[in-house]
Amino acid sequence: MAKVYMVYITFPSRKEAKRIAKILLDKHLAACCNIFPIESMYWWKGKIENSNEFVLIAKTLRKKLKQLKDVVKENHPYTVPYIGVIEAEANEEYFNWMKEVLK
């Protein structure tokens, strides 16, 4: 199994998640992006908020992580975006495909 990275990012709308996914794909910083709706509860400005958001999971390689995070920070609509990195193992076929796509 090969190491890959799933970058978990939350967004206020599907439109914003798709916009950032397109940027990451166009720049070959992500090989694949998944977007799905979630309900979030969190502290903001002294009170607990509850909102509907969208998660973007961008699948990438270690060598692309810093640039991917920088691009997300530059383009994200939130003042404090969450950009979490999850290390995972992928099957060799998928890993080889990612290496080819992210050249």
d(CA 103, CA 13): 30
Record the tokens describing residue 30, joined without a space. 């992500």
What's this model's pTM, rounded to 2 decimal places? 0.92
What pLDDT, on a 0 to 100 scale, did the predictor assign at position 1?
A: 79
Per residue in 57-68, pLDDT (tens digit) is 999 999 999 999
Q: What is the CATH number of domain 2-101?
A: 3.30.70.120
pLDDT in tens, 11-69: 999 999 999 999 999 999 999 999 999 999 999 999 999 999 999 999 999 999 999 99
Confidence of residue 5 (pLDDT cuts 50, 70, 90): very high
- 40 Cβ partners below 8 Å, 6+ apart? 10, 49, 50, 51, 52, 53
Which one has a higher pLDDT value, 26 or 1? 26
